[in-house]
Structure 1
Amino acid sequence: MKILDAEFVKGFIRLCDDGFRQNWHERNGGNLSYRIKPSEVEEIKEELTKEKPWQPIGTAVKGLAGEYFMVTGSGKYFRNVILDPKANTCIIEIDETGEQYRICWGLVNGGRPTSELPSHLMNHEVKKEATDGRHRVIYHAHPTNIIALTFVLPLEDKVFTRKLWEMATECPVVFPSGIGVVGWMVPGGRDIAVATSELMKKYDAAIWAHHGLFASGEDFDLTFGLMHTVEKSAEILVKVLSIRPDKLQTITAENFRDLAVDFKVALPEEFLYEK
Structure 2
Amino acid sequence: MTKFINSPFVKEVSKITFRLFAHGWDERNGGNVSYRIMPEELADYEDVKKIKRNIPIAFDGKNLAGMYFLVTATGRYFKNIIDFPERDLGLVRIAEDGKSVDLMWGYNDGAKPTSEFPTHLMGHQERLKHDPKQRVVMHCHPTNLIAMTFTQKLDEKELTRIFWKMQTESLVVFPEGVGIIPWMVPGTIDIGKATASKLANYRSVIWPHHGIFGTGETIDEAFGLIETIEKAAQIWTIIQMQGGKIEQTITDQGLKDLADSFGVTPHEGYLN
> Shared topology, TM-score over 0.5?
yes
Residue 147 of structure 2 is matched in structure 1 by 148
* Deviation per residue, 1:61-94 (Å, 9 max, x gap): 2331111100000000000000110111111110
Q: Secondary structure at the match of 2:150?
A: coil
Q: How does 1:68-79 map to 2 (within 5 A)?
A: 68-79=68-79
8 Å Cα contact 1:215/1:223 also seen in 2: yes
2:191 corresponding residue in structure 1 = 192
Q: 1:238 to 1:88 in 2, by over 3 A?
A: same
Q: Deviations over 1:205-244 (max 9, x none)?
A: 0110000010001111111111111111100011112323
- For 1:40, the equivalent position in structure 2 comes to 41
Q: Structure 1 residue 161: deviation in Å?
A: 0.8
Q: Which residue of 1 aligns with 2:177?
A: 178
Check whether the contact 2:42–2:48 (CA below 8 A) recurs between aligned residues. no
Equivalent residue runs for 1:220-231 within 5 Å: 220-231=219-230
Q: Which amino acid aligns with 1:116?
A: E
Matched, 1:111 2:111: yes
Aligned to 1:244: 243
| Letter of the structure 2 residue corresponding to residue 185 of structure 1 | M
The aligned amino acid for 2:17 is C
Answer whether contact 1:41 1:68 (CA < 8 A) is retained: no
The amino acid across from 1:46 in the alignment is: D
CA distance in 1, matches of 2:250, 2:72: 39
Which sits farther off after the overlay, 137-146 or 261-270? Answer: 261-270
Alignment of 1:95-110 (within 5 A): 95-110=95-110
Q: Which residue of 1 aligns with 2:13?
A: 12
Alpha-carbon distance in structure 1 between the residues aligned to 2:168 and 2:234: 14
CA distance in structure 2 between the partners assigned to 1:208 and 1:216 by the alignment: 14
Q: Does the CA contact (< 8 Å) of 1:186 and 1:192 recur in 2?
A: yes
Following the alignment from structure 2 to structure 1, what is the Cα–Cα distance between the partners of residues 112 and 14? Answer: 18
Deviation at 1:183, TM superposition (A): 1.3
Helix, strand or coil: the match of 2:35? strand
TM-score by length of 2: 0.96
Query: Distance between the aligned counterparts of 2:260 and 2:182, measured in 1?
Result: 33
- Which residues of structure 1 form unaligned runs of 5+? none
Once the two structures are TM-superposed, the CA of residue 98 in structure 1 deviates from its matched residue by: 2.2
Shift of 1:269: 3.8
Instruction: After the TM superposition, list the runs of 4 or more consecutive aligned residues in structure 1 that deviate by more than 6 angstroms.
Output: none
Q: Which moved more, 1:65-74 or 1:38-47?
A: 38-47
Deviation at 1:45? 4.5
Contact 2:55 2:112 (C-alpha < 8 Å) held by counterparts: no
Matched, 1:30 2:36: no
How far apart, CA to CA, are the structure 1 residues paired with 2:17 and 2:159?
A: 26
The superposition leaves residues 35-69 of structure 1 with CA deviations (integer Å, 9 ceiling, x where unpaired) of 111221222243343141341x2122233111110
- Structure 2: any 5+ residue segments left out of the alignment? none
Percent identical: 41
Match of residue 212 from structure 1: 211
Output the amino acid matched with 1:95.
Answer: A
Q: Deviations over 1:151-194 (max 9, x none)?
A: 01111111111111110110000011110011110001100000
